[in-house]
Structure formats: C-alpha cells, structure tokens
Amino acid sequence: MTDEERNAVLQRAKDIITGDQGVVLRVDEWGRKRLAYEIKHMAEGIYYVLYFDCAPATLNEVTRVLRISDSVLRFMAVRRTKPVSAQETTVSQAEPAAEEA
C-alpha cells in the first residue's frame, strides 16, 4: 500500500468524524510492525491509533467504512474510561522514541 492510499483511508476516517461534529484529538502512527499471525498472506502491517470524540452513530459509520475498505486488515474501536487530557493531545513525536530506549 502506498503512502497516498494510507493517507486517503486515514483522511476518510477523520472526515467522517469531523463531518458529524466529532473531534479528532490525536493520531499516532506506530509504523510498520510484524503481525502476530498472517492476515491475507501479509506478515507486517502499519499501525495507527486515532483518539477521537464522537456520537455513537458516527462511530458506527467509521467502523462500517473501515470494514469495507480492502486496505484495512483489522481495526478495533475501544471506549476510553479516562478522557484524553490536553497534555496527551500535544505529545511530541520525540517522547515515544525516548520511552523505547
């Protein structure tokens, strides 16, 4: 999958969320990781984590679009019990690299 195709899928999800008065709080790109098991004959995948606030109907639409997208192998929607704080939404990209070391 090319960068443009990945960005298109990500942008489509963001557009659905913001189009229904939802808010995208943060997008984390975890990068290419080895899958625990092969999915559709692929051993690696690129992981993204989206933190957002939206209505239940909007979440249903996002999951529907991701489910029918051929380029998305798996996805999971999880409700966070603790809201995302302002500090968490402005985490720099340098901090996760420092935690891995």
52 φ/ψ angles, rounded to the nearest 5 degrees:
-150, 165
Mean pLDDT of 86-96: 52
The per-residue pLDDT for 81 is 82
List the end-to-end C-alpha distance of the chain, in Å, as a whole number: 29
d(CA 20, CA 18) in angstroms, rounded, equals: 5
The per-residue pLDDT for 16 is 96
pLDDT digits (tens, 9 = 90+) for 20-67: 899 999 999 999 999 999 999 999 999 999 999 999 999 999 999 999
CATH architecture of 3-100: 2-Layer Sandwich (3.30)
The per-residue pLDDT for 1 is 77
Q: What share of the chain is helix, strand, coil (3-state, %, to 5)?
A: 40, 30, 30
β-bridge partners, 31: 47
pLDDT digits (tens, 9 = 90+) for 3-13: 899 999 999 99
Q: 22 Cβ partners below 8 Å, 6+ apart? A: 16, 52, 53, 54, 55, 58
